Structure formats: C-alpha cells, structure tokens
Amino acid sequence: MELEIAKIFLALVVLVNPFSALPIFLDLTHNYSKRERTRAAQIASLSVFVTIAVFALVGGGLLSLLGISTGAFRVGGGILVFLIAISMMSSGNNPAKPDIGTDDASEITIARQPAVNIGAIAVVPLAIPMMIGPGGISTVVIYTATAKSYWDIAAVIIAGGVIALLCYLTLLAATKVSDILGETGLTVLNRVMGMLLAAVSVEIIVAGLRELFPQLG
C-alpha cells in the first residue's frame, strides 16, 4: 500500500507541478501586498485539494453513470497524460493547461486583477487549470475508479492534501524560487518532471490495456 500511495503522489505532483504556476502567480499578484499574496496562495492550494478530493469521491460513480469502463478510461487518461509529458519535455508547455500570456500569435491574455478579486484569480486560472487540470483530474478518477477499499480512496485524498501543502509552500516562496532557479532552472525542472510523468503514463496505459484485454496479462 505504501508503494501505491507513492505512485499516486508521484503522478499527481508531476501533473500539478506547482513550479509551472510560478510565472503566472508572480504576474497576477504583482501589485499585491505580502498579506494578499499569501491569501491568494492559500485559496489556490485549498482549491487544488478540494478538486482532488471531490473527484476522488465521485470519480468512480461518474464513470458508472456514463457507462465508461475503468480500462477504457485508464487508456484514454494515460494517453492524455503521455501527451502532456511529451509537451513538457519538448517545449515546456502543457497542452491541458492554457498558454496564458501576451503572445500575439495565440492572442491569449489575462488582465491583472485588482486585490479585491484575490479569490477569483486564485481559483481560476491559478488553481484550475494551471495547477490541477484535465490531466490531474483524469489521474485522480483513474486511481479511485479502481479502488478496492475506502482506504484506497483515502490514500488519494491524503496525497492530494500533501500536494496542496506543497503548492502552498511553493507559491509562498514564488519570488525566491524564481530568482534561485531562473528561467533555465525552471525549464530543466519541467523537463525532468516530464520524463517522470511519461513513465507514469505508460504504466497507466498498460494497466488499462490489461483490463480491456485480459489475455495480454
């Protein structure tokens, strides 16, 4: 069980990757006071945990309601996670997370929000989908849909709580971390996390194929 918790944590922490949210966090909270920035970090981290917990509790029921087998969802979710991993290793961007900036080609921009909208920017886009997006949600549903006991579901929620705490600490230290790692350091970190995520995605796909085609086992 300890190994399973470790695998769940690894998959989620790589997908959530709070370091990838540092640039947008620094940009959106540029004019915030230290207290306001701390509040934004708290709300964003809590949103990550709530999202993981909700999908951990309703994920299996949602698949049953839609008539989707866990094997099919594993394969589909694994492919999505693998595509995210490839993108992280090749360009550092996440296809399941929006390219938020002022790029004229994409024409995607986010106006800096005033301090009164701390909760708004902390939940969207900082927490959802910048930190916990489709890839992370799919992974949560995959693990909980195949849970054999309540402890398995609890393990996912516990892992989500630890990850939310990691997100909070990372966002609190956003300015220092960005200064220490620099653009190059953040890029290298993103590549390494992409490699780890690729390995996790392959395991998810293989498990799904074995469930769909038992003769492969």
Q: What is the pLDDT of residue 114?
A: 44
Nearest to 6 by CA among 196, 211, 207: 196
Task: Give the pLDDT score at 101.
Answer: 55
| CA 145 centroid distance within chain | 18
Please give the pLDDT value at position 112. 47
Range 1-90+118-210: architecture per CATH: Up-down Bundle (1.20)
Structure confidence at residue 128 (pLDDT): 85
Distance in angstroms (rounded) separating the CA atoms of residues 156 and 140: 7
| Residue 33 main-chain phi, psi, to 5 deg | -75, 170
Reduced to 3 states (helix: H, G, I; strand: E, B; else coil), residue 78 is helix
pLDDT for the residue numbered 143: 85
The whole-angstrom separation of Cα 72 and Cα 1 is: 24
3-state secondary structure of 148: coil
The pLDDT of residue 69 is 83
Give the residue carrying structure tokens 């693990």.
143
190-200, pLDDT tens digit by residue? 788 778 878 87
The three-class DSSP label of residue 93 is: coil
**pLDDT < 50 stretches in the chain:** 93-98, 111-116
In contact, 197 and 96? CB cutoff 8 Å:
no
pLDDT, position 96: 45
